[in-house]
Amino acid sequence: MCAFKRGELPAKTDKDPTWRSAAVFTCEEVERLISDERIPEHAAGCVWMEKVANTAQGPQGPQGPIGPQGAQGPPGNGWYMSHSDLYCRTAVGANAANNWTLTAECDDARDLGLTGSCYGQGRADAYVADSHPFFTSTGQTAKWTCIWSFGGTPVDLPNATSQVCCILHR
């Protein structure tokens, strides 16, 4: 085995220090690097990453011209203008008549559904089997639906609650 002490070999330097800024891989070269059968599959990505990391970029080009002014926004500051614009609605009481399903809805189809939750079943054998939003941009009211299920015999859940929180459209 041949061993050299630190400093016995010359420093790693490029013969032509200007070549790196022009060193760009073509798609074909990249494809060859990551699909060469001589390189194990698990190492191909490492080889590629090392090649990319060792490729220097050229200097940043000049800034382009300023683009056109965008369209005027709606009056006011958008959707949320004050704390009073945020509100929550609930549906309470899951039972056999509503198939243990509760849906809380925003007041208006133009209001923005923000978040929701399901809680309050109050029994160890009852659990939320499904909890999901229904927030669309098709003119329908935003909703949050909760479905309860049971590990034992289903019973009424008078405190089960579906809640949706919304932002008032202005």
Domain edges within the chain: 23-53, 83-167
Q: Are the CB atoms for 134 and 144 separated by under 8 Å?
A: yes
Which residues lie closer than 8 Å to 96 by C-beta, 6 or more apart?
Answer: 154, 156
Which residues lie closer than 8 Å to 51 by C-beta, 6 or more apart?
Answer: 25, 33
Residue type, 112: L
Please, which residues bridge with residue 134 across strands? 143
pLDDT tens-place string over residues 6-43? 777 777 777 777 777 777 767 677 777 667 777 666 55
- pLDDT at residue 159, rounded to an integer: 95
Question: How far, in whole angstroms, is CA 13 from its chain's centroid?
Answer: 43
Q: Are the CB atoms for 167 and 114 separated by under 8 Å?
A: yes
Using the CB atoms, write b or e for 60-75: b if 16+ within 10 Å: eeeeeeeeeeeeeeee
pLDDT tens-place string over residues 41-95? 655 555 555 555 555 567 788 988 999 998 887 666 556 677 888 999 999 999 9
Which residues lie closer than 8 Å to 135 by C-beta, 6 or more apart?
Answer: 112, 113, 142, 143
pTM for the full predicted model: 0.54
